[in-house]
Chains A and B, each alone.
Chain A
Amino acid sequence: MITMKMNGLEVKAEEGWTVLETAKFYGLEIPTLCHHEGLTPYGACRLCLVEIGEGPKAKLVSSCTYPAEEGLVVHTDTKRVIEARRMMIELMLSVAPYSKTIQDLASKFGVTRMRFKIRNEECILCGLCVRMCAEQMDGKAIGFQNRGFQRKISTPFDIRSEECRLCGGCIYICPACQLRCQGPQAETAICNACLTMDPTCLDYYDELQCWMYDAGRCGTCVREKK
């Protein structure tokens, strides 16, 4: 057993646990997006940041990938953590303002404005679909390509993949795929009335491109970049 301190409380973790798993076990709430219990942790969304250590050497790390260490001191809601988290949500929102998941996060954590140019790409490159396809469905039909600001997720050569078995796992797991209602000023508004509503009615989109190439039918897949 590994003994750590979380928010002042002494906690015990099993060998091989991450800080996030330990926190969850003890009922401490840490927001996540790119984390899923059935998939390996990735650390892309940076929402699960916690502050570890004390004094001038304290730093922020993603709890989903940081291993539980003997004597580690963890704080889940310091000012540094909250401010960093808010900026991550603001960055995600500017890329995918239509995502209900991200809109809900914005409401919950007090992100009230989008100060960056809205890009409307829907994909925040969290990698859940890639890991779902590879690890749970053993498909390996989609993956990350390029790097930096040009990074994207797609099939080889952006055409229908021979490996894709049309399982729909990628769509199922995508957080940005859950569209919110297209109310007034949908692009720029941060709506927090939807916290209590289910995902909304879905419109038809003719020009869709989805990796299953089943365009138009379900309406929840990633829209083609304009």
Chain B
Amino acid sequence: MKRIKKFKTVEELRKAIEQQETSRQQEKRKVIVVSSGTCGQARGSLKVIEALKRAIREAGLKDKVTLRITGCHGFCEAEPNIIIYPDRIFYQKLTPADVRTIVKETLVEGRVVEKFLHRDPLTKERAWYENEIPFYQKQKRIVLGDNVFVDPTNLLDYLAIGGFRPFIKALTRMKPEEIVQTVKQSGLRGRGGAGFPTGVKWEATRRSPGDIKYIICNGDEGDPGAYMDRSVLEGNPFRVIEGMLIGALAIGAREGYIYVRDEYPLAVRHVTLALDQLYKAGLLGEKILGTDFSFDLHIAKGAGAFVCGEETALIASIEGRVGEPRQRPPFPAQKGLWGKPTCINNVETWANIPLIILNGADWFASIGTSGSKGTKIFSLVGKINNTGLVEVPMGITLREIIYDIGGGIPEGKAFKAVQTGGPSGGCLPASLLDLTIDYESLTAAGSIMGSGGMIVMDEKTCMVDVALYFLNFLRDESCGKCISCREGTQRMWEIVKDISEGKGKPGDLELLEELAIATKEASMCGLGQTAANPVLSTLRYFRDEFEAHIYEKRCPAGVCKSLIRYAVIPEKCTGCEACKRACPTGAIQGTRKDVHLILYDKCIKCGACLEACRFEAIEAQREEAIAIVKEVKP
């Protein structure tokens, strides 16, 4: 790590950027880029990195090959993955053992090793280069793409990709009002969930009276299934901070906070490192680059509360109090942190700012639809082949994301629903696959854009179980102040739980809907107001599934424990005893080569047998006992 020297003038910074850029462009060495965010590390990227370092050294290539360790590239399914420049050869799912082969055959002998190449799950074709991979082809990675080029722990790397040019432009060639107008004209809307026009928020904060103003980066990415903010903070924290510096100039703020979830230790580390380097470089603190502009930026850690993603709750958390939202108006733009005008924006929103300043409002507005400009990063997870972060222009369809980019559903199963917007969002069925993605269309369909989580579900996902899952999440994360939210989510959960256990009664769905509407109408903050969405959307599109649970005591997807039992399919059973070994209660009978039998009095429905069987010989069948009881009773 080179020592960071302080930039005392704009000229010094400009020179340094040029120097780094040139040095990068004239790079004669081969560069191996390794994707190593939190997921990458969990999949073993650190060991691969060690193996690479060793192998490069042993092959005598230390002066000919540069190793660049970056954050998440976004193609999580392929990790640990590397890209070898200048050819951009993409190798995926690597283990330390593979490294030797790569160094020998590709680096030394110049050959591509086919078994490490990405193979498309649908076409089965191999791709050599990053831009041949279908996963990337329909994406427009203006924000996330730079993760590939930057070592997030090195400020100089960020300069090498032109980092801080936007800041210099904003600082020296634009008036604060101009910056605000540019952001307004770009059409950028908040990427955290509500989609409020960013420029309007900035303008309101700027126009609020007072000398002391704050800006905050909302990194409390609490939506389960969404992790794009984590990726940006881990992989390119300098971009986010540069956005905040520009925002501070525009709004007139002298102090700011980056609020990061406690559950993201690597992001906290990288942000802390970035702040440290920027202070040393003189790009944060007093009289930045010799001008009158001073800006202090602190990191604040969350402590495990989803509701703290709500603006006023987040402010309360920074002030050291419980994360209870408060009534708005007054809005944070008028009265926020410690009563001062405060502008809170999401991580992805801040990350877009430098690009808008550099390339202009028109450039940004040329991407996307008329009401939703720019790109959005979605986390495509769940029952999908190509799990990962996808950045696409607004206006793309769900079908394109799930099939063209996502590679469809694994194991040949059928698509059932895609859940967007987290616990404030809803489930969209197959009939809406051609929906074009923008803020308004998602809301009209009963969901929301949210922070961009996109959880794909297949025929084996029970929608009653999904509704139950979200209600359980919400009743625990609700701050508990408003009775409509606290009791509303609790009582909705009770009703859906009964339905999932076969105790549903006629009238339950009507009561559920009535309660959902009351929760939505009467709650004070966004959490309560959107808490009903998961229930209302699943009822809207999958009512028949709820009715099957209530009237037939049947779970069509085979998930709800009380309504199913596991049984061996005799024709498929090979007698391998794998399920018997996996069973924790000894509930499976049978010897080798004999069809096995599950004993219901011992079976606790843990699902271990289903998981262990490689022949799909175990399935979840309808619980006959309940069916018989129902048929006997008139």
Contact = CB atoms under 8 A, between A and B. Distances in A.
Give chain B's interface secondary structure class. Answer: helix
B521 A84 contact: yes
Interface in B484-501: 484, 486-491, 493-494
| Interface size bracket, A side | 35 or more
B522 A149 contact: no
B487 A95 contact: yes
Given A67-B330, A87-B515, A147-B305, A44 B482 contact: yes
A157 B471 CA distance: 29
A148 interface: yes
A163 to B, nearest CB: 19
A125 interface: yes
Given A62-B327, A116-B491, A125-B486, A87 B522 contact: yes
Nearest to B479: A147
A80 interface: yes
B494 A116 contact: yes
Contact of B329 (A67, A87, A146): A67
Interface string B506-546: 00000100110110011110000000000000000000000
Interface string A17-56: 0000000000000000000000000111110010000000
Nearest to A89: B483
B484 A88 contact: yes
A92 B490 CA distance: 13
Interface in A78-112: 80, 83-84, 87-88, 91-92, 94-95
B480 interface: yes
Interface string B297-309: 0000000010100
B383 interface: no
Given A67-B329, A116-B491, A43 B524 contact: yes
B484 A149 contact: no
Contacts, number: 100
Given A61-B327, A116-B491, A116-B494, A88 B476 contact: no
A66 B490 contact: no
A161 interface: no
Contact of B489 (A42, A62, A149): A149
A89 to B, nearest CB: 10
A115 interface: yes
B296 interface: no
Contact of B518 (A83, A144, A150): A83
A86 to B, nearest CB: 8
Contact of A46 (B482, B490, B491, B493): B482
Q: Which of B478, B486, B517 has the largest number of chain A CB atoms within 10 A?
A: B486
Contacts of A147: 305, 307, 322, 476-480
Interface in A55-71: 59-62, 65-67, 69
B481 interface: yes
Contacts of B305: 147
B483 A92 contact: yes
B486 A88 contact: no
B68 interface: no
A174 interface: no
A50 to B, nearest CB: 11
A124 interface: yes
B83 to A, nearest CB: 44
A43 B518 contact: no
Contacts of B476: 147-150
Given A49-B521, A117-B494, A147-B476, 20 more contacts: A46-B484, A46-B523, A59-B521, A65-B327, A69-B329, A83-B517, A83-B518, A84-B518, A87-B484, A87-B518, A91-B483, A91-B487, A95-B487, A124-B483, A144-B322, A147-B477, A148-B475, A148-B486, A148-B489, A149-B478
**Which A-B residue pairs are the 3 nearest by beta carbons?**
A151-B480, A87-B518, A65-B327
Interface of B: 305, 307, 322, 326-327, 329-330, 474-484, 486-491, 493-494, 511, 514-515, 517-518, 521-524
27 contacts: A44-B483, A46-B524, A60-B521, A61-B524, A66-B329, A69-B329, A83-B517, A84-B484, A87-B484, A87-B514, A87-B515, A91-B484, A92-B487, A94-B487, A95-B487, A117-B494, A125-B483, A144-B322, A144-B480, A147-B477, A147-B478, A147-B479, A147-B480, A148-B477, A148-B489, A149-B480, A151-B480
